[in-house]
Amino acid sequence: MTTLIASGRDYGALVEEDRVHSSIFTDEQIFQDEMERIFHRTWLFALHESEIPEPGDFKRIQLGRFPIIATRDEKGEIQLLINRCRHRGAQVCEAQRGNAKRFQCWYHGWTYDSGGDLVGVTGPEGYDRNFKAEQHALGKVPRVDSYRGFVFASLAEDGMSLDQYLGSTRELIDIMVDSSPVGQIEVKPGVVNKTMYRGNWKQIGMDGYHPHYVHVSVFKIFGERENTTGSAVGALHLEDPFSDASQSRTRGFPNGHACLDFRAQRRPQAAAAIEDLQRKEEGRLYVEDMIAAYGRERAEELIAWHGDPHLGLFPNLQLIHDHVRVVVPISPGETEVLMYPVFLKGVGPSINEKRLRAHEAFYGPAAAGSPDDAEIFERTQRGLLADREPWVLLSRGMAREQVDADGSVTGCISDEITQRAQMQEWKRLMTAP
């Protein structure tokens, strides 16, 4: 297979319907091509607009190989500026986040405003009158659009619209945002749970087959704890959501998106969740406000779902339990994972505190959930390097797939529909002209 890649870059041959070639997880050249063909072409999640609420707020992010400064300019508009000085290319902004009217390059001091315009050149007399500052503004990401506060970016000038790209996954994003009675969430840039694993970026997320095995010890602990309803993570132990006998489903969408769909499994738990919330004053108010905002039936389902769409938007965003997760590929065998706990606007502090504690209990550095996953991804990466039998099987549940009205494909919770959806999109983008 190595010869095939070197000679023809026939990426189509590396992804079949029911299996993929392990080189897509380990090969350096394939990784570089993924940057070009996937990360520099399709829509990527950039940030949530609540991370930079005020004019002058900024946050550094990475889109493929492009370092970006996301700013809120003086007019209150979000700008995604390429963090590369127009003089000799140095990264202009090094601070991770903050508030600034100007960005001054560390190399020779050229200065840009929060909209990216070049507003100061050190020693301007060295340039003749043909030098026009307006021709040297920081580059901008060509396409930026948002849905419910989630800002997406595409480094390609042309392509499908964000609405088209998201398709029916928008109603899953709504689940996270509408778990707030005012329909707004807050993602704080400073409250980030930053981790790294030595494995490929395509390993993480949307696998309903592993929790019974990898997370058996943490589930046992959760099962023995007092009820932590009010948070999606706390809902884990109410009834086994990862059993194929449950109503939980895997779901694959067009454009590589995928989810572990717990909606039907969680819906009957609404009454118990509401009863638990109503034991405390802020919980009682929350239930009341949700019913006032959405009507009883919708409020009940939103409360039962705990704001957890358990959705992966290909290639770099996952909305899981109580957090927004950004996947940043570093190399074929290294991936950075940024987790931002989501806070609900319009609720009492104890509601958000409970969500944060539940997030920490499974995903925090001292928890057992995320570290177990990272360990498995690293073991997988080491195994994949032994490529005498190079195919990775993704065939589970192929015989029991169903197509839903919105065109998404579903199956039992342990079926590899999610991986197949992601891999078919990988193939589409990697083989596109």
Give me the least distance between CB of 121 and ligand FES, in Å please. Answer: 8
Q: Are the beta carbons of 370 and 358 closer than 8 angstroms?
A: no
Q: Which does 87 bind (CB under 5 to 8 A by kind): ligand FES, Fe ion, none?
A: ligand FES
Residues in the chain: 433
| Nearest distance in Å: CB 110, ligand FES | 4
Are β-strands 66-72 and 118-120 bridged in parallel, bridged antiparallel, or unpaired? Answer: unpaired
R_g of the chain computed on alpha carbons: 23
Q: Three-state SS across 134-181? A: HHHCCCECCEEEEECCEEEEECCCCCCCHHHHHHHHHHHHHHHHCCCC
Q: Are 15 and 427 a contacting pair, CB within 8 Å?
A: yes
- 92 vs 259, beta carbon nearer ligand FES: 92
64 vs 208, beta carbon nearer Fe ion? 208
Name which of Fe ion, ligand FES, none residue 27 binds, using a CB cut-off of 5 to 8 Å depending on partner kind.
none
Q: Which residues lie near ligand FES (CB under 6 A)?
A: 85, 87-88, 90, 105, 107-110
Nearest distance, CB of residue 46 and ligand FES, angstroms: 24
Q: Judge contact between 390 and 415, C-beta under 8 A.
A: no
Give the whole-angstrom CA distance, residue 44 versus residue 22. 24
Query: Least distance from C-beta 131 to ligand FES, angstroms?
Result: 13
Backbone angles phi, psi at 408, to 5 degrees: -75, 155
* Minimum distance, C-beta of residue 138 to ligand FES, in the bound complex (Å): 11
C-beta of 25 vs 110, nearer to ligand FES? 110
Instruction: Give CA–CA dist 298/304, Å, rounded.
Output: 10
* Count of CA atoms in the C-beta half-sphere (13 A) of 22: 16
* 363 contact choice in Fe ion, ligand FES, none (CB below 5 to 8 Å, kind-dependent): none
Residue number, 66 or 362, with CB nearest to Fe ion: 362
The binder of 88, among Fe ion, ligand FES, none, by C-beta within 5 to 8 A per type, is: ligand FES
What distance lies between CA 352 and its chain's CA centroid? Answer: 20
122 vs 217, which CB is nearer to Fe ion? 217
In the complex, least distance from residue 72 CB atom to ligand FES, rounded to whole angstroms: 23
Closer residue to ligand FES in complex, CB, 66/362:
66
Bridge partners of residue 99, in order along the sequence: 57
- Measured from the CB atom, the residue of 107 and 213 that comes closer to ligand FES is 107
Q: Is the CB of residue 92 less than 8 Å from the CB of residue 71?
A: no
Q: How far apart are the first and last CA of the chain?
A: 22
Q: Tell me how far CA of residue 151 lies from CA of 126, 296, 406, in angstroms.
A: 40, 30, 24
Question: Which of Fe ion, ligand FES, none does 107 bind, CB closer than 5 to 8 A by kind?
Answer: ligand FES
Task: State the nearest-atom distance from the C-beta of 94 to ligand FES, in Å.
Answer: 12
Cβ proximity to Fe ion: between 373 and 425 the closer is 373
At what angle are helices 296-305 and 281-294 packed, to 10 degrees?
Answer: 130
CA atoms within 13 A on the CB side of 386: 4
Q: Which among Fe ion, ligand FES, none contacts residue 108 (Cβ within 5 to 8 A by kind)?
A: ligand FES
Q: Which helix (H) or strand (E) holds 353?
A: helix 349-363
State the residue number with the nearest CB to Fe ion. Answer: 373
Q: Which does 85 bind (CB under 5 to 8 A by kind): Fe ion, ligand FES, none?
A: ligand FES
Q: Contact positions toward Fe ion, by CB under 5 A? A: 373
For residue 85, the minimal CB distance to ligand FES (Å) is 3
Token pair in block for residue 47: 């940030």
d(CA 94, CA 77): 22
- Which one of ligand FES, Fe ion, none is in contact with 373 (Cβ closer than 5 to 8 A by kind)? Fe ion
Quote the least distance from Cβ 205 to Fe ion, whole Å: 8
DSSP label of 306: T
The listed partner (ligand FES, Fe ion, none) that binds 232, CB under 5 to 8 Å by sort, is none
Q: How many CB atoms lie within 10 A of CB 65?
A: 12
CB 156: neighbour CB atoms within 10 A?
13
- Closest approach, Cβ 93 to ligand FES, in A, equals 11
Please identify, using beta-carbon distances, which residue of 103 and 242 lies nearer to ligand FES. Answer: 103
Q: Which does 90 bind (CB under 5 to 8 A by kind): Fe ion, ligand FES, none?
A: ligand FES
Work out whether strand 185-187 and strand 334-344 pair parallel, antiparallel, or are unpaired.
Answer: antiparallel
186 or 373, CB closer to Fe ion? Answer: 373
